[in-house]
Amino acid sequence: MTHKILEILKEDKPYIHLSELHEKGELALLFPELDKLNETEDGHKNNLKHTFIVLQNVCDFNNDYKMKVVATFHDIGKSKTKRKNDKGEWTFHNHEKIGAKMAKEILIKWGVTDGNLIDYVYNMIYYHGRTKIPRNVTESAIRRLVKDVGQPVFMDLIDFCKLDLTTKYNFKKERVQSGLDDIKNRALDIIIKDEDAKWRSPLSGYIIMDLLGKNIDGRIIGQIKKKYDPLLKDETISMDTVIYEIKKGLY
């Protein structure tokens, strides 16, 4: 039987239902790790209210079930990592790492057997703090982050981090969202460049020499590859067709 919280997250507006459960005191029984985020102290936001707002943002954005699970779980590590530093500021160091571990354990305890869902939620929570990087971060740092998170999850992660912004200051929200868009666009450029670098043409010089003779001028080989390599890479022509045209002298 699916846990009640997960059933609620399949609704169109689960944040309303969860808020009602909290008001009735039932959330503390069903999902105590989430209910513990209801703390209001000077110097930091109420993380339960923040979670409900983020969940609403996800519903308004794409209503994706997996991302709604992420939104609901993403800050549960804050209750265990809450500290006040020497400046009197509240900190939540490593709440992403601890929260990801907690989320995985809770989902398994609730009977979730979908390994893809568990891994998705774990990675989204674990890495959602890693996107707080400057616009001018190096290409290698972006490539490393994409590799660590996983390419499909990374794109969702950037979208989620934009939805995780609940500040009342629009200028701050717009600045951070713009920075995330820059990172996402740079990541896409890097992914395309890396894919291009990995591509190897099936039309080698040896194949051309087998078709036209080993004494063929190297300039002819270059001309043939220049014509057909882009078409092969874009998959607008098959290797069989290329061989046929070379044999027929259509190059």
Q: What is the DSSP string of 122-136?
A: HHHHHHTTTT---TT
Angle at 234 between CA 229 and CA 240, to 5 degrees: 60
Domain residue spans in the chain? 4-198, 205-247
Amino acid at 184: K
The one-character DSSP state at 18 is H
Task: Give the tens place of pLDDT for each residue, 106-161.
Answer: 999 999 999 999 999 999 999 999 998 888 889 999 999 999 999 889 999 999 99
Whether residue 91 is predicted with pLDDT greater than 80 in this model: the reply is yes
Amino acid at 49: K
Start-to-end CA span in the chain (Å)? 64
Which top CATH class is 4-198? mainly alpha
Whether residue 44 is predicted with pLDDT greater than 80 in this model: the reply is no
Q: Specify whether the CB–CB gap between 201 and 225 falls below 8 A.
A: yes
Range of weakest confidence among 25-29, 45-49, 97-101: 45-49
Angle at 120 between CA 115 and CA 124, to 5 degrees: 150
Name the residue among 78, 32, 37, 72 with its Cα closest to residue 160. 72
Amino acid at 144: R
In a 10 Å sphere around its CB, with 0-12 CB exposed, 13-18 middle and 19+ buried, how is residue 126 labelled? buried
Query: What is the value of pTM for the model shown?
Result: 0.81
